[in-house]
Amino acid sequence: MLKLQSVKVRLTLWYALVLSVFLAIFSFMMYAELARALYHDAEKNLAWSVQKVDEALQTKLKKQTKLLQSLTRSPQESLKPFPPETEKIIKEVILEWERQELFLARSQHTLRVVDLSRQDIVSNLKEWEKEIIFPNFERDSYFMESGASYQTIHFKNKPFRLYYKMLRVGGYPVAVIQSAYALHETEKTLKQLGSMIAIGIPLAVLCACFAGWFLARRFFKPVDSMTREAKQITAAHLDSRLPRTYMGDEIDRLAETLNEMIDRLEHSTRAMREFSSDVSHELKTPLAIIRGELDLASRKTRSREEIDKMLLVISEETDEMIRLVNDLMILVRSDARQLRLDKQHLHLLEVLEPLVDRFQERSRQKGIRLIWNPSGNAVIEADEGHFKRVMNNLVDNALKFTDSGGEVTVSASTQNEMVIIEVKDSGIGITSENQPKIFMRFFRDEKARSREGSGLGLSIVKAICDAHAWQIGLESIPGQGTLIRIFIPASEVGAESE
């Protein structure tokens, strides 16, 4: 059973409704125009036949001088019968004209000429047509005023259209010309047309519905295929894609858009799985260490010094987990665009100089030269805590991946109304194919896997820079080192001399 919820059904029904209305309006207009044209042609032919008779008889009668002299009469007597002598002349002229011309005999229309007493002078009525009762023209006020009139009568259940015209000679009426046209053939034609319309429109709409349903099924077949395929796509099976028609139409563009969305979902799901796996791995190590220390402490009695060492290890691993969780919270808030920034004006010398000094001891222990190279005392607008975290991560990363005897340089300068902060090292560097991935979460180059770290440092740097609308750039050559630059837009920069 067809369901109205189906787009195909609704589309077909709307198509049928619109087509029905259109066909009904068109048929009504066609029927009305045809009826008007047929009746107009009938009246036109009637008038033409009567006009021909009128012109011919006027020409003949005007030649009768004696007749014209006897026509003088008052307006009150205009429709009264003429004297017998005058009537005789009129009839003889009319009959003589018909014998010579045979106009009525040859005419396809029913014609007759009657005198003012409504007696036939000449006619071509045959058989039953002679029984047609013509209305009294004296009772037609329009005819009496204008001298011509149309009427419709019914005789033996057959409609006739009549046309009357007064035959005048010298301005005086002498006879009436009457013409009749049987309308039953016209009405029969119109009735047949009406029957054809009454039967044809429903049939046409029915056929159109079947055709519309067939076309709708054909056009929506790709949508049905997409629906079936979409039901098979789950979070565990995102490798399937919706079928495309490759016709460049709306349905094909919809499938293409949905496939792009599934691509993004697959990428996000894969990234989430990798993210969960990496988080589990990062948390597993400190938890295992804590569990091992607790197991050792529970096996035998330990001295106070040993317990203090175990607690120190547990505290350090707990701090590492807290740091990891805090890093993850920053990334989660950044993804949700909920990373809160408490912006304020910061003097780079006052912020970066103490920060670099805190890494001096670590750099000396590793045999690395840490250089602080400021240029002026620029003022920037930033969240102090997040800015320090960015610089801590960059300097920590540089020291982590630079071997003994290397060099790490931190510099800040102002160029073209932009503050540029650079952290450059002479470490192991990053291959060109891995450089686009370096800001991804938990990503670590093959050479970096042997060194400590979670792989979140640069991801956090990127998230904080994005939140501040700063740009970050990276240049690296394997075996020679890495340079990371942070560009602070001019709209957020001030300058202040030292």
76-80, 82-86, 302-306, range with the lowest pLDDT:
76-80
What confidence score (pLDDT) does residue 317 get? 75
pLDDT at 348 over 70: yes
Instruction: Compute the distance between CA of residue 114 and CA of residue 152 in angstroms, rounded to an integer.
Output: 19
Model confidence over 447-480: pLDDT tens digits?
555 556 566 778 888 888 888 889 999 999 888 8
Supply angle C-alpha 297, 298, 302, rounded to 5: 45
| Coil, strand or helix at 153 | strand
Q: Are 48 and 55 in contact (CB under 8 A)?
A: no
What confidence score (pLDDT) does residue 369 get? 92
Domains of the chain: 7-189 (3.30.450.20), 250-335 (1.10.287.130), 343-496 (3.30.565.10)
- The band of 70, judged by pLDDT with boundaries at 50, 70 and 90, is low
Element (H, E) at 111: strand 110-114
What is the model's pTM? 0.48
Other beta carbons within 10 angstroms of residue 266's beta carbon come to 17
pLDDT at 240 over 50: yes
177-181, 199-203, 284-288, 380-384, range with the lowest pLDDT:
284-288
pLDDT at 410 over 60: yes
Model confidence over 173-231: pLDDT tens digits?
888 898 888 888 888 888 999 999 889 888 988 888 888 888 877 777 777 777 777 77
- The band of 305, judged by pLDDT with boundaries at 50, 70 and 90, is confident
- Side-chain-side CA neighbours of 263 within 13 Å: the count stands at 6
- The band of 496, judged by pLDDT with boundaries at 50, 70 and 90, is very low
Q: Are 103 and 151 in contact (CB under 8 A)?
A: no
Strands (E), 98-193: 110-114, 120-123, 148-155, 158-169, 172-182
What confidence score (pLDDT) does residue 3 get? 56
> What's the rounded mean pLDDT across residues 364-375?
89
Element (H, E) at 251: helix 250-299
Element (H, E) at 348: helix 348-358
pLDDT at 491 over 70: no
227-241, 306-320, 430-444, range with the lowest pLDDT:
227-241
